[in-house]
Structure 1
Amino acid sequence: MENTEQPRSVASHRFDNAKRRRPDHHARQAMLTPPYVLEPVRELLGGIGLDPCTEPDNPTGAAMHYHLPMDGAALPWDAATIWCNPPYGETRGRWIARCIEAGAAGAKVVLLIPSHTDTRLFQQAMASSTSVLFVRARLRFGVLRDNGRQEAASHGSALIGFGVDLSPLAALGTVVRRAGS
């Protein structure tokens, strides 16, 4: 019998997106923003009017918030200031689109996403932004693993500002402002 299986490269397992992506309801999607990032953002915005994708206990202290099982990407974003640390799963594009829309409508929006600068989603967000802050070092999210250690990001992160200049947050990393903003 002839072997019809295609040869695989040594690293091919690393590029299997099915192994990297999780549904939005997956337990490891809850990545609470560390206070050393959240507090300066809250101060810059003058408070958080809406957090559309938080936990039921509202750890960001937003005036209005949505959490699972609510679909915050589909609900109204009627706030002047918005903080968004979306699920890093399959629907991230919906959240980025909503942040872009809210910023275009006049809201001050800060979005936290992986700084995968080569991806279509990152490029869309950056093209519509006022400024981008590339966070220095990897974030340590406020989620404890089974061994009691904090969950650390496996990648760099970026704050993307829509209608807001992130330059005052330069202590967190490198800020790039779009020309003309």
Structure 2
Amino acid sequence: MTAELALFRFDNGLRRRAEDAEEQVHLTPEYVLDPVRAVLGGRIELDPCTTADNPVGAERFYALPDDGAARSWSAATVFCNPPYGEARVRWVRRCAEAGAAGSRVVLLIPAHTDTRIWHEAMASATSLLFVKGRVKFGVPRTNGRQVAASHPSALIGWNVDLRHADELGSAFLLRTQPPAAYVDIPLGQ
């Protein structure tokens, strides 16, 4: 292995993709969207992070080059499947802000439970549901197969109850309710 290749493989900073890179497009599959729609009362008023053809069918949506994270999220119901990587931090924060403002919000993100942004989301979320297996996004690869996530995923909710979404299908594995008060427990002391 050359030094350049080794540096690329082991330095995540060199491998990051821009938020608007084509590789960041992960279209939410219907087997995830159907329960989300049901939880949100049958309609998604706003999808702030989608493509121009609005595959989610939201009543309002923002697509590149429009920066949905910087636009108004004034909506009763919001679904967000943001770009992954570091870009997701600002989207998670916007979801939490919309939830604090009273919107019913569902966010699909990697279930990286060891990250600061996960813990930040859990501090204000009202519901959590883990997706069974790896989400198969609606983006076909050159071999005809759909792109599958390289990690587990979860739906995080604000002002919604995701505990029964799994009754609509077998896509979901574990339902849980975040604690009423989020507590940091110091370890190793």
Match of 2:70, SS?
Answer: coil
Deviation string 1:3-32 (CA, Å, 9 cap, x unpaired) is xxxxx9xx9875421254211111111100
Question: Do 1:34 and 1:142's aligned partners in 2 also have CA atoms closer than 8 Å?
Answer: yes
Match of 1:38, SS?
Answer: helix
Paired residues, number: 172
TM, length-normalised to structure 2 = 0.85
CA separation of 1:101/1:16 partners in 2, compared to 1, >3 Å: closer, same or farther?
Answer: same
CA distance in 2, matches of 1:179, 1:57: 38
CA separation of 1:22/1:13 partners in 2, compared to 1, >3 Å: closer, same or farther?
Answer: closer
Question: Do 2:127 and 2:157's aligned partners in 1 also have CA atoms closer than 8 Å?
Answer: yes
Equivalent residue number for residue 179 of structure 1: 179
CA distance in 2, matches of 1:178, 1:57: 34
TM, length-normalised to structure 1 = 0.89
CA distance in 2, matches of 1:16, 1:155: 19
1:36 aligns with one of 27, 31, 36? 31
1:45-56 alignment to 2 at 5 Å?
45-46=40-41, 47-56=43-52
1:10-159 alignment to 2 at 5 Å?
15-46=10-41, 47-159=43-155
Question: Which one-letter code corresponds to 2:18 in the other structure?
Answer: P
Question: Do 1:117 and 1:123's aligned partners in 2 also have CA atoms closer than 8 Å?
Answer: yes
Runs of 4+ in 1 over 3 A off after TM superposition: 11-15
Q: CA RMSD in A?
A: 1.8
Deviation string 1:30-81 (CA, Å, 9 cap, x unpaired) is 1000100011101110110100000101000001000000000000001000
Question: Which one-letter code corresponds to 2:51 in the other structure?
Answer: E
Equivalent residue number for residue 5 of structure 1: none
Equivalent residue number for residue 185 of structure 2: none
Question: Which one-letter code corresponds to 2:177 in the other structure?
Answer: R
Unaligned runs of 5+ residues in structure 1 are 1-7
Unaligned runs of 5+ residues in structure 2 are 182-189
Match of 1:82, SS?
Answer: strand
CA separation of 1:180/1:54 partners in 2, compared to 1, >3 Å: closer, same or farther?
Answer: same
Single out whichever of 107-116 and 164-173 deviates more from structure 2.
164-173
CA distance in 2, matches of 1:162, 1:71: 22
The percentage of aligned residue pairs carrying the same residue is: 59
